[in-house]
Structure 1
């Protein structure tokens, strides 16, 4: 649990600002090019192995 909490804090201090900017870009007019269905396995990180970003595709787990 401690590792997860450290990750959350690291995200808030380093990645969050960039992610908010990305979300704002697609907020009003998202144009995903694909729908990706996967299982709920915690090892599955579709955006990591499809090289996609915020707004590129819908992900259904």
Structure 2
């Protein structure tokens, strides 16, 4: 649990602001280039192994 809480704090201090800017760019006009279907397995992180960013693709979990 401690590791998860540290990750949340690190995210809030370093990543959150950048992510908010990225979400604002695609909020009103998303133009994904792909659809990626995956399972609900928490080990599956499509953006990590496809090297994509916010708005690059729709991800559907089944």
For the superposition of Structure 1 and Structure 2, which TM-score range results when normalised by the shorter chain? over 0.9
Listed one character per residue, the Cα deviations across residues 23-47 of structure 1 (whole Å, up to 9, x for unaligned) are 0110110001111011111111000
TM-score by length of structure 1 reads 0.94
Aligned-residue CA RMSD (Å)? 0.9
How many residues of Structure 1 are paired with residues of Structure 2 in the alignment?
61
Q: Which runs of 5+ in 1 are unaligned?
A: none
TM-score by length of structure 2 reads 0.92
Greater than 4 Å deviation, 4+ residue runs: none
Distance 1:36 1:5 in 2: 29
